[in-house]
Amino acid sequence: MVQQALPQQDPEGPADPPESARLGKPLGAGDTMSAVHGAALLLPEGGATGIRRPSFLTSAAQRPLARRLTRAGADDGLVVHVVGYRHRGWNGSAAHPVRDALWAADEVVRRYGDVPVCLIGTGMGARAALRAAGHAAVTSVLALAPWLPEPEAVLDPEPVRQLAGRQVMLVHGTNDERTDPDLSYRLAERAKKVNRDVCRFEVHSDGHALRQHRPEVLALAADFVRGALFGHHYARPVADALAAPPPLGLRMPLASGFGSSLGH
């Protein structure tokens, strides 16, 4: 089993916590003042601990995904925001990024009204997205290389009931040495028991950052968001993964070249 090596401790020491989370500049419909019909909230990576603000690079790493989603959802009224956490760490039971994700969903409702929200997280942000899925505005969750620590006890597993009624996709590289792919499979397996609309893709030979198959991962994310938020037909592999029982639908390989003929 891969050893969970998430992130280092905050090297800067204690600091007064910032007052609130932030929504990054709106991209897409919110940027053009067109009608917003759906929102994607991007939850970045983070560390196990740390109470200072994340660095600029944390949000900057979300730009390729934000641009891909903005382009794919241009005709549907999609707005994309990167969430700026109050703190750079998960921080144990405080689970700060979960609270920030819930705040961000509230803020979307305040700004744009009753629109569906897709939470899209990477690493620690993926865990936060899965945890925050119970928010009333959230209709879908995309978890990329989620950080899911081993439960401390059999009676304390990562929760999944909040995923009921949502469209849920997990994506994990099989060679991820930072966040254990087996743990995301086990969570998806448990989630599938309370929600049939759960699937999981494996990116063979790719690592934590999913760089080797970046175009395919971005295309997969765009296809999922368009289907989950706006009712477009999913690409055949996504539809098959959602329909297939475990383990098939939870170990769906992401084919090389996925998305090259989708046209969005």
Given pLDDT bands bounded at 50, 70 and 90, which one contains residue 154?
A: low
- CA 156/CA 175 separation, integer angstroms: 27
Work out the mean pLDDT of the chain and round it to a whole number. 90
For 22-253, CATH number?
Answer: 3.40.50.1820
- Return the higher-pLDDT residue of 3 and 130: 130
- Return the higher-pLDDT residue of 175 and 3: 175
Which residue has 């929504």 as its token pair?
Answer: 23
pLDDT of residue 34: 72
- Identify the H or E element spanning 39: strand 38-43
- Does pLDDT of 67 surpass 80? yes
Burial class (CB in 10 A: 0-12, 13-18, 19+), 212: middle
- CA 37/CA 85 separation, integer angstroms: 25
* Strands 167-173 and 117-122, bridge-based pairing: unpaired
Give the end-to-end CA distance of the chain in Å, rounded to a whole number.
37
Q: Using an 8 Å Cβ cutoff, are 65 and 42 in contact?
A: yes
Q: What is the DSSP code string of 175-222? A: T-SSS-HHHHHHHHHHHHHH-S-EEEEEETT--TT--TTHHHHHHHHH
Report the half-sphere exposure of 24 (CA within 13 A, side-chain side): 23
- Does pLDDT of 56 surpass 60? yes
pLDDT of residue 20: 86
pLDDT of residue 8: 41
pTM of the model: 0.91
Crossing angle between the packed helical segments 124-131 and 96-112, to the nearest 10 degrees: 60
Secondary structure of 117-140 in HEC code, one letter for each residue: EEEEEECHHHHHHHHHHHCCCEEE
pLDDT of residue 155: 64
- In the chain, domain spans: 22-253
Q: What is the pLDDT of residues 224-244, one digit of tens each?
A: 999 999 999 999 999 999 999
Q: What is the pLDDT of residues 83-131, one digit of tens each?
A: 999 999 999 999 999 999 999 999 999 999 999 999 999 999 999 999 9
- Return the higher-pLDDT residue of 221 and 56: 221
| pLDDT > 70: percent of the chain | 89
